[in-house]
Structure 1
């Protein structure tokens, strides 16, 4: 199963550079391809954790991070159903990766970045913030806020940059 997740992440990484803002807004073209593979990577990760517990090895965690980073981009789609499904996948990712922080402390920065990006989107999008998933994520982020080194919902500036999101913004 980890090899299949790697395939899904590779597809996202190969198609992401040619995704345009129009593709994101309409969930079409290369964005639709990436969205399909993001969804499949999340489904594989969920099935993996149901079978083997929430302990994911490095490759599945990285692949799911790639999928989650694309889901962040899809929160800017103009199609509400696409936004909601991306937020649902991000909620799954955030919960699983937060539970993995004790076993894989190297995920902390990834969790911080995804958390910050989700918070930024929810702060500017009342539709998503008021959805059941949005409310749940905000409660989760507020609960993490007081933990030393935990995800900071204060925005990306509160966390050290990874470069990956800058790459997404520059394409």
Structure 2
């Protein structure tokens, strides 16, 4: 199973979520996690984020700043940090829609539609979860499902809050991604 974690520039939220998912999924065979951004290119990691990573015992598992490219469009699941970024990616690549969720939305919808790992594949279950949504949900500016972006000017407190939020979400997502039979 291939899981992409996507934010705007891939310098803060998605690399942290990727690192947390890799940590929580350690030992789970056949799961690959990667992070990308929809804009920009290689950027520098903010100093406050590096301090927050150290305080939280984390390190990034991949170089940040990588942009989403056509080779990345073969993942089984895409987890976005905010709805506006998900919307932008789906407009560019409509085939991503059935496999694309904000991270928070995915965790919530998975709780409402628990997987039946013994009788369905991950792809079959994801199709059921996707079937509970409408494309119109991408419209609007409601930030309820967004992970707040501390941005390049964020302070240590903002980055610690982001890491704490992503830690909780990544743990929930890892529980969902664990235990699927390889078929």
TM-score relative to the length of structure 2: 0.29
Q: Which has the higher helix share?
A: 1
Say which structure, 1 or 2, has more relative contact order (CA 8 Å, 6+ apart).
Answer: 2
Q: Which has the higher strand share?
A: 2
